Structure 1
């Protein structure tokens, strides 16, 4: 095994780091489970908060309102107190994480805060029909926590909650799920998220937050454009916007060597072009099956080839 690894490394099939990792595994030495532990922590936080939400929804009458409020509030305060004690304070630059649990304790505190706000509105209806302002307040608090504690999980939560608030505000206009008003709101939100990330990077403030802004903003933009391709009135305009945005995402992927943005461009572009072509004319069942067979095989082949090129680079 050692000889095989030496041969693979000398022929540059394996990099030095990959060969060293395989040698440690073969020799039964310790190796990192950093990302596995982070994934388990993240999943545990989500399961815990989901279970707490179900507990509040189903048993709040028997447990008692004040008891539930006090328990959730104490848990939230404890999480934020832990982060304030162990965190390094605000800085425009990236901060080192104090320990493995820090990010997830902050995420738990933010989710408990959201649960507390939802329970207060459910029980006391402070804002009545304007309850969506709780979403805006939550989004602003999450964004504040993200920038103060330098946490990208809280940033993702804040940006997605802000998008949810904008969607709820638009739905109150009496519009459907993917009609023009909601698509316009999604396009505005996606462009705003990308512009905010670019502005922060330009100003030298939290530059490491840019990927979070780009991933969310590009996905929202491309989703809204794909949803508009099927509209009869402006389908071609949405398709042109989709191809333009996808080209920008692909160019960024090639420049930054980030395969994810190339994947977004290819997959969303494929879905948009497929919708446009199927709406363009009358297709027989055999024609549709043939189209999907040929296009799917071509798409998978292209993605595998591009992924290999990115991996070798």
Structure 2
């Protein structure tokens, strides 16, 4: 490596400063803590919002309703004001993040908004038995924020909230856990999420959002199909759907060189197999990993 850097510097392909920087990186004098910092920020946001929720639940009477509402609202407005000031506005293409805290301040603002909505409904019962519409309103607001501020974290939150709203609406019809009605809703939601991501990509609009759509949509689809394989009515249809979806996930994994989608296909396929199957999940994952990287080397 040192010889290659010397040759590049001698050929004036690299400047002296660039070569010196690369030597420091190669000598492990410099290393990146980018993902560690992002993980710390993400964990801090979750801990902060969890603590706020516990504070609201246990001490709202002593603190005062209006004080709590004003504090949460001010925090939410402050987060969105920061993002509006620092952000570059809407663009169909990927935007450069202004700073390391930008994405997480936006996520905090969205979570504070959800906390405010939940507290208003808990205290004043604004929508009473129709409280689930708060979930739909939250999902739509999160979708707007995700696309305007170009944030995949908030997009994940938006799609998850939309799925929660659909699940609550289905459960109000008397559907039990993973019964036919709820499975059908999950299949519809998973297909809708994947289709929305594919259409956006086709139109050239926020193409980098596609992996978020696919990860969530494929997991929801496969979960619903696995739950339906053992049902008395339509078990064979669910099995056919599972094979088709799993094959599509594996094909996408090989085409895009994304091991996660191959892992989904293997794990959900194994979970739907008979308990007497002699192949362990661990062995299957190891075998699929070897197959994936062999195919990648051939590409």
1:220 corresponds in structure 2 to 220
Aligned counterparts, 1:78-97, within 5 A: 78-97=78-97
1:103 corresponds in structure 2 to 103
1:309 corresponds in structure 2 to 294
**Cα pair 1:183 1:224 within 8 Å, conserved:** yes
Alpha-carbon distance in 1 for matches of 2:180, 2:124: 35
SS of equivalent to 1:46: helix
**More displaced stretch, 303-312 vs 187-196:** 303-312
SS of equivalent to 1:301: helix
1:163 corresponds in structure 2 to 163
Greater than 6 Å deviation, 4+ residue runs:
none
Measured after TM superposition, the shift of residue 236 of structure 1 is 1.5
**Cα pair 2:263 2:285 within 8 Å, conserved:** no
**Cα pair 1:136 1:162 within 8 Å, conserved:** yes
Measured after TM superposition, the shift of residue 265 of structure 1 is 0.8
Alpha-carbon distance in 2 for matches of 1:121, 1:247: 44
2:29 corresponds in structure 1 to 29
Q: Tell me: CA distance 1:93–1:25, structure 2 relative to 1, closer, same or farther (3 Å).
A: closer
SS of equivalent to 1:77: helix
1:143 corresponds in structure 2 to 143
Measured after TM superposition, the shift of residue 22 of structure 1 is 11
Q: Aligned-residue CA RMSD in angstroms?
A: 2.2
Alpha-carbon distance in 1 for matches of 2:284, 2:115: 42
1:192 corresponds in structure 2 to 192
Measured after TM superposition, the shift of residue 28 of structure 1 is 4.5
1:245 corresponds in structure 2 to 245
Q: Tell me: CA distance 1:297–1:71, structure 2 relative to 1, closer, same or farther (3 Å).
A: closer
2:70 counterpart of 1:70: yes
Alpha-carbon distance in 1 for matches of 2:240, 2:52: 45
Aligned counterparts, 1:46-65, within 5 A: 46-65=46-65
2:131 counterpart of 1:118: no
Q: Structure 1: where are the runs of 5+ without partners?
A: 4-20, 279-287
2:209 corresponds in structure 1 to 209
Alpha-carbon distance in 2 for matches of 1:265, 1:24: 42
Tell me the number of residue pairs that the alignment of Structure 1 and Structure 2 aligns. 282
**Cα pair 2:254 2:292 within 8 Å, conserved:** no
Q: Tell me: CA distance 1:58–1:262, structure 2 relative to 1, closer, same or farther (3 Å).
A: same
Alpha-carbon distance in 2 for matches of 1:196, 1:297: 33
Normalising by structure 2, report the TM-score. Answer: 0.89
Measured after TM superposition, the shift of residue 230 of structure 1 is 1.3
Normalising by structure 1, report the TM-score. Answer: 0.85
Q: Tell me: CA distance 1:23–1:266, structure 2 relative to 1, closer, same or farther (3 Å).
A: farther
